[in-house]
Chain A
């Protein structure tokens, strides 16, 4: 199982760098993976984990540095090259064909034929599949159509398919993010078995509890740099968290405190079919209430439930003391709730329009003259918000698809300012915008709260979340585990709760009894 220093590692990365426009994704990263080793790769969102995996998988080509396979330098220009060198990657999205059977998927594109030009030898293919599945102790029939399998089972088939191609390195990118506890344990068993058979495993996860259960060594990335590799037996979870956070937290946040005692939003025990489980919290007028947690923890789902996009299965929502029942976003908008979605380009913008129609659409009745829309009034509104939010003037006459990320973001914010929202939900508002535009977004948040508007801030950028929020709730698996004033929370503590490192008895009680603040 363990690494042997005298032996050549299976794969070695030496000084690998990779840049994308505006971001140095990997900066001089060196690490190695040995045969039979489970090597965990951890780091905050955006630290470069996936980029590193994609360099090994042949999806990205590093700009400098070397990849050594069994000690020999190789260049992987294409995923096929990586495959030929025994690298198999299990992504979060599967590459299985849902309408084909397990056996057909495993032998996709290389079906076994009776003779060289003959028909497909179904029996042989089925037998071989059984052998592969048996070796991995996967109990699934070979003739089941993949569509009928659970997500966890599909993942096992994906791994079986990778193994059937004689892979020596298996890269798994957040393999347990969609799995429950039982399936996670089943998967971990399979991973250990594969390592026992001499395969190298690169295990990318943000769940530190899992990493400490399964990995032999762990490498920590931060901002594209390698912060070190340690055997798991030589390191504490706390040290890993410290390495992930680093010490240089820039304090460039122009936070203003505008919180008032009046309760704006009061949420009691809401659940949805999308995975929100008995969530309770309140937001005061003028408060910035932060939702922290890992990607996929259920923060966006909470936001969509508050916005009437997903229906509640239980619980109640009060807005300024009045019980509200949102059946659609338009109900929520009319009650004064606005949402700046996570993917502004996919979910927020209308690329067939210039700036003004993108701003006015939630309250078109405010730009009417009689029974008709007044295009001059719309233009005036557009101009007003372009000036107010410091948006580039070209937004007035050009399609919003040509604006920068920051300007696009501000167009969506302008929409909700114009619609007179009392509660604004920001889902990852600064993702993919440059530092200048980030500070603009923070200023806008300050202006909003100064006017008594409440803000629900969802952010995976923890320094930002800690600095900008008045209070923070930590979400994991669709539940709120912890609520406290942001001063009482450190990045370290936030990360330990969010990653599952800190689950003590007190929180278990809170699970059961609902959370009191």
Chain B
């Protein structure tokens, strides 16, 4: 009863608010808008505190670090929207680096090597997708299994040693510059803008929102649920693979431990950006902003010389804040009905 009472008073308060304020409140319920404001405020504060923050070199450093996490986040957020989850992206990232590296050192030229690497990613995605969609195994369990298996497989393939001395024709994709900006930054921008456009406007990607919103109703409305799910697992795997290629090219070697723990950072970015683990909610732009915010935070703490341990402490707090914000926002929406 008390809950009903408080809901009623909130509703009355909302009604009394003048038009402009009410519009701002409506805008505030868009996660992207709030995040953008937070990021702008954060930038202003950091610029005042550290003169180095808004320099070209630092911005490039932030974006370069972001190119890996945000690229995967684009695939992850689409998967989360359709009600899925993938913990194996970190392993896939390293796996693709190793497979490509081994192909290159075996004398295969760059483009075919990259294709072989991406095929490896697709097979991981297919495996995850078929296990989840067709055999109805829980996504957490499935991808936890593939995460461990793939990490093991890449260690076996590389015989426990990093693949070194990759040819220049390959490393250029991670180190080359266009207009003085490194390639991965362009790759990132293309994937984020393209992903956002597709998810908002394409018929195929829209289906993920329907599936995440109500899977049975989606089936009853003629959506090929299994196909979309399998596609989404392949998409996130390929994007993780692309991220793996960029890292490998940047370092000039295939590391075996790269990408460890990245899955949780990517999921965190998606959720800060407005996605929900129960599906149906989220956007590519939001996930990008979530990743950007986390990247800026890490960078700022470095610049300020704050102990690196504070980084995960603060990131965790922000994740909890974002989720609490979501819950409160939902309640407020419900009270208006």
Report Cα–Cα, A95/B337, bound state, in Å.
Answer: 36
Within 8 A of A (CB), among B208-256: 209-210, 212-214, 216-224
Q: Mark interface residues in A450-486 (1 if CB within 8 Å of B CB, else 0).
A: 0000000000000000000000000000000000000
Q: Across the interface, name the chain A residue whose C-beta is closest to B219.
A: A329
* Chain B interface residue count, Cβ-Cβ cutoff 8 angstroms: 24
Q: A353 to chain B: which residues have CB within 8 Å?
A: 209-210, 213
A161 to chain B, nearest CB (A): 31
Are the CB atoms of B206 and A364 closer together than 8 Å?
yes
B166 to chain A, nearest CB (A): 37
Interface check B55, CB cutoff 8 A: no
Report Cα–Cα, A333/B223, bound state, in Å.
Answer: 10
Are the CB atoms of B214 and A309 closer together than 8 Å?
no
Q: A352 to chain B: which residues have CB within 8 Å?
A: 209, 212-213, 280-281
Q: Mark interface residues in A259-283 (1 if CB within 8 Å of B CB, else 0).
A: 0000000000000000000000000
Which one of B209, B224, B336 contacts A328 once the chains associate, using CB atoms below 8 Å? B224
**What is the total of A-B residue contacts with beta carbons within 8 Å?**
78
Are the CB atoms of B222 and A349 closer together than 8 Å?
no
Within 8 A of B (CB), among A359-402: 361-362, 364-365, 368, 371-373, 375, 398-399, 402
A515 to chain B, nearest CB (A): 28
Are the CB atoms of A361 and B281 closer together than 8 Å?
no
Are the CB atoms of A371 and B202 closer together than 8 Å?
yes
A422 to chain B, nearest CB (A): 15
Report Cα–Cα, A356/B280, bound state, in Å.
Answer: 16
Interface check A509, CB cutoff 8 A: no
Interface check A217, CB cutoff 8 A: no
Q: A328 to chain B: which residues have CB within 8 Å?
A: 219, 222, 224
Are the CB atoms of B214 and A361 closer together than 8 Å?
no
Interface check B2, CB cutoff 8 A: no
Which one of A347, A364, A371, A398 contacts B216 once the chains associate, using CB atoms below 8 Å? A347
Are the CB atoms of B210 and A361 closer together than 8 Å?
yes
Report Cα–Cα, A43/B170, bound state, in Å.
Answer: 77
Which one of A362, A372, A402 contacts B222 once the chains associate, using CB atoms below 8 Å? A362
Are the CB atoms of B280 and A309 closer together than 8 Å?
no
B208 to chain A, nearest CB (A): 11
Are the CB atoms of B222 and A365 closer together than 8 Å?
no
Q: A346 to chain B: which residues have CB within 8 Å?
A: 214, 216-217
Contacts A351-B214, A371-B202, A372-B201 hold; do A402 and B337 have CB atoms under 8 A apart?
yes
Q: Mark interface residues in A326-356 (1 if CB within 8 Å of B CB, else 0).
A: 0011101110000101000011111111000
Q: A11 to chain B: which residues have CB within 8 Å?
A: none
> Could you say which interface size class chain A belongs to?
20 to 34
B194 to chain A, nearest CB (A): 12
Report Cα–Cα, A268/B216, bound state, in Å.
Answer: 28
Counting chain A CB atoms within 10 Å of each CB, the highest count among B212, B222, B223, B281 belongs to B222
Are the CB atoms of A341 and B220 closer together than 8 Å?
yes
Are the CB atoms of B217 and A348 closer together than 8 Å?
yes
Interface check B203, CB cutoff 8 A: yes
Are the CB atoms of B337 and A350 closer together than 8 Å?
no
Q: A309 to chain B: which residues have CB within 8 Å?
A: 219-220
Q: Across the interface, name the chain B residue whose C-beta is closest to A403.
A: B337
Contacts A364-B206, A373-B202, A402-B337 hold; do A349 and B214 have CB atoms under 8 A apart?
yes
Report Cα–Cα, A430/B80, bound state, in Å.
Answer: 35
B8 to chain A, nearest CB (A): 15
Which one of B202, B219, B223 contacts A372 once the chains associate, using CB atoms below 8 Å? B202
Q: Mark interface residues in A213-241 (1 if CB within 8 Å of B CB, else 0).
A: 00000000000000000000000000000
Q: Mark interface residues in B139-179 (1 if CB within 8 Å of A CB, else 0).
A: 00000000000000000000000000000000000000000
Q: Across the interface, name the chain B residue whose C-beta is closest to A394.
A: B337
A357 to chain B, nearest CB (A): 8
Q: Mark interface residues in B318-337 (1 if CB within 8 Å of A CB, else 0).
A: 00000000000000011011
A435 to chain B, nearest CB (A): 22
Are the CB atoms of A329 and B221 closer together than 8 Å?
yes
Q: A350 to chain B: which residues have CB within 8 Å?
A: 209-210, 213-214, 217-218, 280
Are the CB atoms of A348 and B213 closer together than 8 Å?
no
Q: A334 to chain B: which residues have CB within 8 Å?
A: 222
Interface check A289, CB cutoff 8 A: no
A17 to chain B, nearest CB (A): 21
Q: A330 to chain B: which residues have CB within 8 Å?
A: 222-224
Contacts A307-B220, A347-B216 hold; do A373 and B201 have CB atoms under 8 A apart?
yes
A222 to chain B, nearest CB (A): 32
Q: Across the interface, name the chain B residue whose C-beta is closest to A333.
A: B222
Which one of B203, B217, B220, B333 contacts A368 once the chains associate, using CB atoms below 8 Å? B203
Report Cα–Cα, A328/B224, bound state, in Å.
Answer: 8
Are the CB atoms of B220 and A339 closer together than 8 Å?
yes
Q: Across the interface, name the chain A residue whose C-beta is closest to B226.
A: A328
Q: A341 to chain B: which residues have CB within 8 Å?
A: 217, 220
Q: Across the interface, name the chain B residue whose C-beta is closest to A348.
A: B217
Report Cα–Cα, A361/B213, bound state, in Å.
Answer: 13
Q: B202 to chain A: which residues have CB within 8 Å?
A: 371-373
B336 to chain A, nearest CB (A): 8
Q: B201 to chain A: which residues have CB within 8 Å?
A: 372-373, 375
Are the CB atoms of A364 and B337 closer together than 8 Å?
no
Q: A372 to chain B: which residues have CB within 8 Å?
A: 201-202
Are the CB atoms of B217 and A333 closer together than 8 Å?
no
B274 to chain A, nearest CB (A): 12
Interface check A199, CB cutoff 8 A: no
Counting chain A CB atoms within 10 Å of each CB, the highest count among B201, B202, B334, B336 belongs to B201
Q: Across the interface, name the chain A residue whose C-beta is closest to B81.
A: A352
Report Cα–Cα, A372/B217, bound state, in Å.
Answer: 23
Interface check A284, CB cutoff 8 A: no
Report Cα–Cα, A505/B201, bound state, in Å.
Answer: 61
Q: A362 to chain B: which residues have CB within 8 Å?
A: 221-222
Q: Across the interface, name the chain B residue whose C-beta is closest to A309.
A: B220
A-B contacts, 27 listed (Cβ < 8 Å): A307-B220, A309-B220, A333-B221, A339-B220, A341-B217, A341-B220, A347-B216, A348-B217, A348-B220, A349-B214, A349-B217, A350-B209, A350-B213, A350-B214, A350-B218, A351-B214, A352-B209, A352-B212, A353-B210, A357-B210, A362-B222, A365-B203, A372-B201, A373-B202, A402-B333, A402-B337, A415-B221
- 13 further A-B contacts with Cβ under 8 Å, apart from A341-B217, A347-B220, are A350-B218, A350-B280, A352-B213, A353-B213, A357-B206, A357-B210, A361-B206, A362-B222, A368-B203, A373-B202, A402-B333, A402-B334, A415-B221
